[in-house]
Chains A and B, each alone.
Chain A
């Protein structure tokens, strides 16, 4: 399959996230949903479990999302998508079932249905929009909250690290796994478009810094998301048929010396306000471990 290169000018000018949505200022999910619209246009059939995006749509009978949306129970989204994928051919359905789920719905409560769908290689796209905690219920820790972070259920800082969610799906041997960041829209859109051309289970893990939950200024969402990549705390890659390839700009950060200091990223976030020097050392070690681990798959 050839590389699909897109330019921002070529993307749809249609609005897929409409004014009047009820997201917080600086919300990364509305950015992400816009990119999903720009990438897949009319093709997506969004399946959205409980989470911020259930609320962002606004109140019925109106909706701020100009895409097909099925709201579903928290743990069910991959299974609902699986059901649709299985009748797509026989019922001549045009469109792609696209799950849009948060980190809690993906890595915690919905993990079993996600794993089941991945193992069956259902023809769907699963996007985990990862804001690293249960933000919709008011900032409680998830298994994707990083070490040391304050949340309302880890008031002295989380003692466990972040689960390697994309690698867990990679080990299901699905045809496509990628990471993305809301700071790199073209990269995310490219990966979505590529995923839409592949048959089988596609997983994209989208890093989405949340000003409300991470305690930073809402004008800094994209800046923080970019920093996460530049300090090496979020690694961009894609894996076709389980072969991992780092994607720009993360490929340059294999060299640790090219990364910005982790502190630059941590200092801007209120959730890391109470970190000790030892905590920061621990976080740096966890980042280094993640790099070592991902490089084993390249």
Chain B
């Protein structure tokens, strides 16, 4: 084991190095660029045995990774924002083909206007493609989750690709100490490549010609069932990883001081760290508050949510993305489950941090105190989905 101080992006490259990847495709986009730069250095320096293809677009980055992966390669690529949107058609194709691989998404706002700062809208735009979708809170979790994702996506109960999201700049360019496991420790954890079929085997296979309607629908249903089945695999892999490294993340979601809490904050990504700090302060001040961190958005941790909200009076959900004209993405998921259980719990959504708007402990505390006041004094909230615009 060695502890290195690494940016989020360099941590991604370290995880790829440890995951025994065969093919990497590289195309630059801010703030993802230093991932493919670092991977180029590692490949050209002989520290990773993989082939690196410097493609001419993000669309081709995923298409080339897909080609190699459908022929038996463990593949990786990374992108952000408009690059991810340009890949969107291929994302459906990779999942529909049931070809496992891993994609790192360094989240960034979408234009216009041109904006390189952080928000989660690009990530959330891939919600329905059939990929597993994880998100990291800090650099250590980036490393551990990418390594875990290769195991999860290549499990025969899953056989689907997976995304790891990390916050642009807040993690991608922020340096933190990262505990890097020895290759020996991971020796049995990193398995040989596994996938449902190989297009370059000697079998004469055809992938993707026209189906009858019922077969097409059955294939969609199969993906849905496999995403559900991934829940067990995610928990098992996280537990196996804990035994080797001492680190685990609660599988799909982490419950931070949320036992017996009256209030629950729910969020995903780097700002969960801030929320945990605020939670500690509030606990010291006598508020019964906890934080539920969404680690996997797909599959969504419904069971963890149900456990966490039992007995809770008010839920405050933070989204760094919005379905314009409707709700924040996590808020919508939480609302659906919460009201299936109980019509008493108050679930408020806050959409903030878009376009790079800074959300620190002060803002989290203010939003929380306002919510507590509404719930405790009025027993209701005026606005179930509030945009907090920042800047004043």
B2 at the interface (CB under 8 A from A): no
B212 touches A72 (CB 8 A): no
Give the contacts of B176-220 with A (CB-CB under 8 A): 199-200, 202-212, 215
A57 touches B209 (CB 8 A): yes
Could you mark each residue 266-306 of chain B with 1 if its beta carbon is under 8 Å from any beta carbon of chain A, else 0?
00000000000000000000000000000000000000000
A8 at the interface (CB under 8 A from B): no
B204 touches A79 (CB 8 A): no
A86 touches B204 (CB 8 A): no
A105 at the interface (CB under 8 A from B): no
Give the contacts of B59-98 with A (CB-CB under 8 A): 59-61, 63-73, 75, 89-90, 93
Could you mark each residue 84-98 of chain A with 1 if its beta carbon is under 8 Å from any beta carbon of chain B, else 0?
101100110111010
**Which of these, B53, B63, B210, contacts A76 with CB under 8 Å?**
B63
A71 touches B209 (CB 8 A): yes
Could you mark each residue 27-46 of chain B with 1 if its beta carbon is under 8 Å from any beta carbon of chain A, else 0?
00000000000000000000
Residues of A within 8 Å of B60, CB to CB, are: 76, 78-79, 82, 112-113, 116
Residues of B within 8 Å of A120, CB to CB, are: 53-54
User: In the bound complex, what is the Cα–Cα distance between A246 and B219 (angstroms)?
Assistant: 49
B55 at the interface (CB under 8 A from A): yes
A93 touches B63 (CB 8 A): no
A80 touches B66 (CB 8 A): yes
Residues of B within 8 Å of A79, CB to CB, are: 55, 59-61, 63-64, 67
Selecting from A59-67, A231-239, A289-297, the interface stretch reads A59-67
Residues of A within 8 Å of B208, CB to CB, are: 70-72
A115 at the interface (CB under 8 A from B): yes
B14 at the interface (CB under 8 A from A): no
B23 at the interface (CB under 8 A from A): yes
A107 at the interface (CB under 8 A from B): no
B373 at the interface (CB under 8 A from A): no
User: If A60-B206, A73-B90, A83-B64 touch, does A119 touch B53 (CB 8 Å cutoff)?
Assistant: no
User: If A80-B67, A82-B67, A112-B56 touch, does A69 touch B209 (CB 8 Å cutoff)?
Assistant: yes
Residues of A within 8 Å of B204, CB to CB, are: 42, 66-68
User: In the bound complex, what is the Cα–Cα distance between A112 and B59 (angstroms)?
Assistant: 10
Residues of A within 8 Å of B49, CB to CB, are: 90
User: In the bound complex, what is the Cα–Cα distance between A45 and B93 (angstroms)?
Assistant: 18
A250 at the interface (CB under 8 A from B): no
Shortest Cβ distance from residue B148 to the other chain A in the assembled complex, whole angstroms: 24
Closest to A55 in B: B210
B259 at the interface (CB under 8 A from A): no
User: If A70-B199, A71-B209 touch, does A87 touch B65 (CB 8 Å cutoff)?
Assistant: no
Q: Give the residue among B55, B71, B204, B210 with the most A Cβ atoms within 10 A.
A: B71
User: If A87-B22, A93-B71 touch, does A58 touch B51 (CB 8 Å cutoff)?
Assistant: no
User: In the bound complex, what is the Cα–Cα distance between A54 and B206 (angstroms)?
Assistant: 11
B206 touches A63 (CB 8 A): yes
- Could you say which interface size class chain B belongs to? 35 or more
Residues of B within 8 Å of A95, CB to CB, are: 200
Shortest Cβ distance from residue B209 to the other chain A in the assembled complex, whole angstroms: 4
Residues of A within 8 Å of B75, CB to CB, are: 83
A75 at the interface (CB under 8 A from B): yes
Give the contacts of A190-208 with B (CB-CB under 8 A): none
A127 at the interface (CB under 8 A from B): no
User: If A70-B70, A80-B64 touch, does A87 touch B206 (CB 8 Å cutoff)?
Assistant: no
B68 touches A84 (CB 8 A): yes
A59 touches B212 (CB 8 A): yes
Residues of A within 8 Å of B67, CB to CB, are: 47, 70, 72, 79-84, 97
B126 at the interface (CB under 8 A from A): no
**Which of these, A61, A66, A70, A86, contacts B64 with CB under 8 Å?**
A86
A84 touches B207 (CB 8 A): no
Closest to B93 in A: A73
User: In the bound complex, what is the Cα–Cα distance between A78 and B67 (angstroms)?
Assistant: 10
A91 touches B53 (CB 8 A): no
User: In the bound complex, what is the Cα–Cα distance between A76 and B56 (angstroms)?
Assistant: 12
User: If A60-B211, A71-B208, A73-B93 touch, does A87 touch B59 (CB 8 Å cutoff)?
Assistant: no
Residues of A within 8 Å of B199, CB to CB, are: 45, 68, 70, 84
User: In the bound complex, what is the Cα–Cα distance between A70 and B22 (angstroms)?
Assistant: 20
Shortest Cβ distance from residue B23 to the other chain A in the assembled complex, whole angstroms: 5
**Which of these, B55, B89, B206, contacts A71 with CB under 8 Å?**
B206
A84 touches B55 (CB 8 A): no
Could you mark each residue 1-36 of chain B with 1 if its beta carbon is under 8 Å from any beta carbon of chain A, else 0?
000000000000000000000110100000000000
Residues of B within 8 Å of A90, CB to CB, are: 22, 49, 51, 73
User: In the bound complex, what is the Cα–Cα distance between A135 and B329 (angstroms)?
Assistant: 41
User: In the bound complex, what is the Cα–Cα distance between A68 and B208 (angstroms)?
Assistant: 12
Give the contacts of A128-145 with B (CB-CB under 8 A): none
B57 at the interface (CB under 8 A from A): yes
B63 touches A73 (CB 8 A): yes
Q: Give the residue among B49, B68, B209, B210 with the most A Cβ atoms within 10 A.
A: B209
B90 touches A91 (CB 8 A): no
Task: For the complex of A and B, list the 7 residue pairs with the smallest distance between their C-beta atoms, beginning with the closest.
Answer: A83-B67, A116-B56, A71-B208, A83-B64, A79-B60, A79-B63, A80-B67
If A59-B209, A59-B210, A70-B207 are given as contacts, then 17 extra A-B residue pairs at C-beta distance below 8 Å, sorted by A number, are A67-B204, A68-B200, A72-B66, A72-B67, A75-B89, A79-B67, A82-B63, A83-B25, A83-B66, A83-B67, A84-B67, A86-B51, A87-B71, A91-B72, A93-B72, A94-B200, A113-B56
Q: List 23 A-B contacts (CB under 8 A).
A: A47-B67, A55-B210, A60-B209, A63-B206, A67-B204, A68-B203, A71-B206, A73-B63, A76-B63, A79-B63, A80-B64, A80-B67, A80-B70, A82-B67, A83-B25, A83-B65, A84-B68, A84-B199, A84-B200, A90-B73, A113-B59, A113-B63, A119-B56
Query: A residues bordering B, Cβ < 8 Å?
Result: 42, 45, 47, 54-55, 57-61, 63, 65-73, 75-76, 78-84, 86-87, 90-91, 93-95, 97, 112-113, 115-116, 119-120
